[in-house]
Amino acid sequence: MATVEIRSLKKSFGAATILQGADLRMEEGEFVVLVGPSGCGKSTLLRCIAGLEPITSGNLVIDGEDMTTADPVKRGIAMVFQSYALYPHMTVGENIGFGLKIANTPKAEIKSRVAEVARLLKLDSMLDRKPKALSGGQRQRVAIGRALARKPRIFLFDEPLSNLDASLRAEMRVELAKLHSSLGNTMVYVTHDQVEAMTLADRMVVMSAGKIEQVGAPLELFNNPANRFVAGFLGQPPMNFIKVTSARATASGIALGLPGGDTVEVGLPAPLAGNAEGLELGVRPEDMSIAPEGRLKLEVEVVEQLGGETIVYGRLADGQLVTAKLAGQAEIAGGDRLALDFSEERLHVFDAKGANLRYRTPVPHGKAKALS
């Protein structure tokens, strides 16, 4: 149905550069999630794709056609906003049919299309209500209905669930996933919630401060982050970053010194040895486990018993904070001393610039398909 391609897209508001050259290709029918902390430029990128903000430089190509300066309506997109942005003076039916009305669609056709969309979203019984007489979840569905009505090529969502309460959000997340699989349209979805991103995305785009940090399938990003930012952004509780005390060359790689005197050996090129400055180990809390010979000696400060898992907050010998997520229930209390070990395979090493030294360049998209 539709591919979207962004080529070195830049966006500035006056002197402030908000997007500093984004490159991205979205395949037909893909569910792409843009994720990143608040203020990193996700909405701005989405509004540039929608045509609500002029693109400062670079290109936007939809289905092979250059749309950099095209009117929003020519791009074949629909958008769902964070605030829903329903027209308060129109009924639900008028809201859903507004785009068709503006496009001079015959009345009978509008009516049948609105009825069809309303049935799909279970809004049939409230077509004559005004938005203020609807609950948050219903308003959300009307906003989605308005997007559906015009049969766009591409759907854009800007944090559509962030105004809903937690249980409704989980429900709508599933609804959206179903909607995507039944419609098969290309969808671009913005969120700052990593759970939403991980569960919905075919491909995830992690952004920070106006830059795309990494693009890939959710688990790929989780297991193989390109840099410290992506590693720290995904996962809850976040990855531990432990500063190493030394880096020494060995037969098979380099040995990194841990606080407390132990070392961990990782297969990295020898030239890195000698300079431990700024090197950090990245260990996910869930990759740690209690072991008698554990190399991380932790003095426990706080323990959170969640029933299914136990989260331990503590300090290493040199005072660095570490969080561990242990499976099941454990008899640990503040003040205890724990020895933790970790899986070396899942260990990451970050250099002073934040690049992941154990990053494995992924097999390109096409090849992976051919192999499988």
Ligand X SMILES: Nc1ncnc2c1ncn2[C@@H]1O[C@H](COP(=O)(O)OP(=O)(O)O)[C@@H](O)[C@H]1O
Residues that bind ligand X (CB under 6 A): 13, 16, 18, 36, 38-44
CB of 41 or CB of 160, closer to ligand X: 41
Is 354 a binding residue for other proteins by CB under 8 A? The answer is no
Partner whose binding site includes residue 228, from other proteins, Mg ion, ligand X, none (CB under 5 to 8 Å by kind): none
Is 133 a binding residue for other proteins by CB under 8 A? The answer is yes
| Best CA proximity match to 357, nearest among 299, 273, 263, 259 | 273
Least Å distance, CB 37 to ligand X, is 7
Least Å distance, CB 265 to ligand X, is 40
CB atoms inside a 10 Å sphere around CB 114: 24
Output helix, strand, coil percentages for the chain, rounded to the nearest 5: 30, 30, 40
Is 150 a binding residue for other proteins by CB under 8 A? The answer is yes
CB under 5 A: which stretch of 24-32, 38-46, 163-171, 350-358 binds Mg ion?
A: 38-46
CB of 133 or CB of 363, closer to other proteins: 133
Q: How many residues bind Mg ion (CB under 5 A)?
A: 1
Is 42 a binding residue for other proteins by CB under 8 A? The answer is no
Q: Helix 107-120 vs helix 92-102: angle between axes, to the nearest 10 degrees?
A: 130
With vertex at residue 168, the alpha carbon angle to CA 112 and CA 123, rounded to the nearest 5 degrees, is 15
Burial-class residue 320 by CB neighbours within 10 Å (0-12, 13-18, 19+).
middle
Q: Helix 107-120 vs helix 136-149: angle between axes, to the nearest 10 degrees?
A: 130
Residue with tokens 């961990």: 264
Is 85 a binding residue for other proteins by CB under 8 A? The answer is yes
| Binding residue for Mg ion, selected from 43, 140, 185, 214, defined by CB under 5 A | 43
Residue with tokens 């300079």: 275
Partner whose binding site includes residue 146, from Mg ion, other proteins, ligand X, none (CB under 5 to 8 Å by kind): other proteins
Backbone angles phi, psi at 213, to 5 degrees: -85, -40
| Binding residue for other proteins, selected from 31, 84, 233, 350, defined by CB under 8 A | 84
CB of 102 or CB of 355, closer to other proteins: 102
How far is the C-alpha of 186 from the C-alpha of 300, rounded, in Å?
Answer: 48
Q: Which of residues 179-238 bind other proteins (CB under 8 A)?
A: none
Partner whose binding site includes residue 91, from other proteins, Mg ion, ligand X, none (CB under 5 to 8 Å by kind): none
- How many contiguous H segments (helices) and E segments (strands) does the chain have? 9, 21
Nearest residue (beta carbon) to ligand X: 43
Q: How many residues bind other proteins (CB under 8 A)?
A: 31
| Best CA proximity match to 180, nearest among 209, 148, 149 | 148
Least Å distance, CB 270 to other proteins, is 55
| Best CA proximity match to 314, nearest among 304, 301, 325 | 301
List contacts with other proteins (CB under 8 A).
Answer: 47, 50-52, 72-73, 77-79, 81-89, 98-99, 102-103, 130-134, 139, 146, 150, 163
